[in-house]
């Protein structure tokens, strides 16, 4: 088992590969709102270079697994924690990092396991980080320790494209400063078809005003 945290794309920006950032300096970033949602939005050449660097290194990882003869039997998961720290590409969704709109909380999740998963398969069922551990245990044929309650569920049947009964669920997300959850503060309750949220902002520890609920289909 290996957990590789890239810390990119993210500040600080002083150690970005210069050859990549120099290439992206030539791009026209005028359609990007560089003033919004964090200093990262003002560093688009460095951010683009970081994304390319991550992509290159994922390729190196897959090639090394192939060289070891371990690629068919190794499950590789690529995931990120939130939307971008600025108004960048989010597939037409609203919001960014620290916001509880879909552009802030919906993020990529890719699984690569040639010996078991069919290439190009996808699922529209909702899932979250809490599902990773149950999925890995399921993939390895390991039962959770006795008496341990896991919040998530295995999404291995979805990754395998199996036709399984998949009951609706609600995933709760809350993102604000402080160490304790605050009722209704910058939260989203996301179901398969509906989302209820209060976008009260990330920066405060306490709910700044009575909630202004928004319900989306």
Whole-number pLDDT of residue 53: 93
CB atoms within 10 A of CB 70: 11
Whole-number pLDDT of residue 27: 87
The token pair at 77 is 């998961």
The token pair at 175 is 């993102």
Spatial separation of the C-alpha atoms in residues 203 and 51, rounded to whole Å? 26
Q: Decide if pLDDT at 39 tops 50.
A: no
Contact 81, 107 (CB under 8 A): yes
Average pLDDT, the chain: 91
Whole-number pLDDT of residue 11: 86
pLDDT digits (tens, 9 = 90+) for 72-93: 999 999 999 999 988 788 889 9
Spatial separation of the C-alpha atoms in residues 28 and 18, rounded to whole Å? 18
Whole-number pLDDT of residue 18: 85
Backbone phi and psi for residue 184, each to the nearest 5 degrees, phi listed first = 75, 5
| H or E segment and range at residue 20 | helix 18-25
Mean pLDDT within 108-112 = 95
pLDDT category at 34 given cuts 50, 70, 90 is low
């Amino acid at each position: 088992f290996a957990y590789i945290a890239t810390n990119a794309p993210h500040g600080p920006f002083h150690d970005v590969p210069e050859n990549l950032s120099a290439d992206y300096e030539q791009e026209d970033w005028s359609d990007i709102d560089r003033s919004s949602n964090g200093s990262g939005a003002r560093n688009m050449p460095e951010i683009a270079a970081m994304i390319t660097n991550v992509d290159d290194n994922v390729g190196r990882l897959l090639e090394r697994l192939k060289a070891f003869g371990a690629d068919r039997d190794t499950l590789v998961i690529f995931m990120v924690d939130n939307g971008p720290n600025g108004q960048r590409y989010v597939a037409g969704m609203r919001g960014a990092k620290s916001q509880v709109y879909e552009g802030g909380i919906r993020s990529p999740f890719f699984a690569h396991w040639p010996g078991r998963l069919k290439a190009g398969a996808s699922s529209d069922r909702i899932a979250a980080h809490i599902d990773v551990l149950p999925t890995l245990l399921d993939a390895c044929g390991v039962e959770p320790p006795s008496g341990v309650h896991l919040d998530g569920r295995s999404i291995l049947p979805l990754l395998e494209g199996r036709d399984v009964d998949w009951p609706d669920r609600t995933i709760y997300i809350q993102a604000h400063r402080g160490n304790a959850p605050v009722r209704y503060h910058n939260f989203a309750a996301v179901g398969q078809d509906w989302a209820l949220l209060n976008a009260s902002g990330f920066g405060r520890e306490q709910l700044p005003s009575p909630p202004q609920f928004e319900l989306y289909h």
